[in-house]
Amino acid sequence: MDFKIATWNINSVRLRINQVERLLAEEKPDVLCLQEIKCINDAFPWKEIRKAGYEHIAVHGQKGYHGVATLSRIPFKKTESRDFCKKGDCRHIATDLDIPGGLRIHNFYVPAGGDEPDPAINEKFAHKLAFLREMTDLYAKQRSKSKNRMVLVGDLNIAPLENDVWSHKQLLKVVSHTPIEVELMNELYASHDWVDVMRRFVPEDEKLYSWWSYRAKDWEAADRGRRLDHIWVTPALADAPVAMKVRKDARGWERASDHAPVIATLRL
């Protein structure tokens, strides 16, 4: 079966529910993972999502901040979330899909890390580094299970490669592309021998972005982007990816999120 999954930092699901409905109608993914939903579970737009054909919904939200949600056409066998760093933030939800062979989807919103890339003076940056280390420890413990069929998606808030940012040299001291963040992401990547689906389709020597700042007067003309959103699969699914795209046009929709949806198709 061909399985289409999308990930999108929506930056308030209630504010942009029309855009979510539009993406679902146009792309018809089997699963859409949202980050930064910015609402408690009871305030999530359940009715609108179900009307769009997504009956299976897992939400882990909090008032005004963070929050993740996974919307699916396929039933869930299990749903769980993990409180990384014991801060009570809603930044992760895992869902097991009820399909032959099984499939676990991890939906993440990694802390942005603030503005100053020094954990000694910036607690937000220290939190980000600790969060990444905890993720690495979690998946390293599962690495021996070579048949693990897992997909990790979300706003990981790191652009690890030189061509994942508009200027490698100018962003080396900017949070999201600093050497320590990239090093920790590489350790996370190696923890379960993850496969970077996006870079399967776009070579590392080509620019690839999923986020463009609100600060740019003309974000499209400036094109000073970063690849903060990711789709990874475990080695058991290494040969599954057959297509990938970034819906850059969604960044230009009215009152858009600063992130664009990333969509991949896997042949399971």
Residue extents of the structural domains in the chain: 2-267
Give the pLDDT of residue 134.
98
Alpha helices (H) in the chain, listed in sequence order: 17-27, 46-51, 123-140, 168-171, 179-191, 197-201, 219-222
pLDDT at residue 183 above 90?
A: yes
pLDDT at residue 44 above 90?
A: yes
Average pLDDT over residues 95-117: 97
Mean pLDDT of the chain: 97
pLDDT at residue 146 above 80?
A: no
The closest of 5, 10, 1, 48 to 30, measured between CA atoms, is 5
pTM over cut 0.95: yes
Question: Tokens standing for 13?
Answer: 């699901």
The closest of 18, 67, 73 to 43, measured between CA atoms, is 67
Residue 106's pLDDT band (boundaries 50, 70, 90)?
A: very high
Burial (CB < 10 A; 0-12, 13-18, 19+), residue 202, is middle
Residue 197's pLDDT band (boundaries 50, 70, 90)?
A: very high
Burial (CB < 10 A; 0-12, 13-18, 19+), residue 203, is exposed
Average pLDDT over residues 146-174: 96
Question: Tokens standing for 93?
Answer: 């939800």
Residue 144's pLDDT band (boundaries 50, 70, 90)?
A: confident
d(CA 234, CA 147): 9
Residue 54's pLDDT band (boundaries 50, 70, 90)?
A: very high
- Dihedral angle of Cα 57, 63, 64, 67, to the nearest 10 degrees: -40
Give the pLDDT of residue 147.
87
pLDDT at residue 217 above 90?
A: no
Three-class SS of residue 153?
strand
Give the pLDDT of residue 261.
98
Superfamily of domain 2-267: Endonuclease/exonuclease/phosphatase (3.60.10.10)
Residue 191's pLDDT band (boundaries 50, 70, 90)?
A: very high
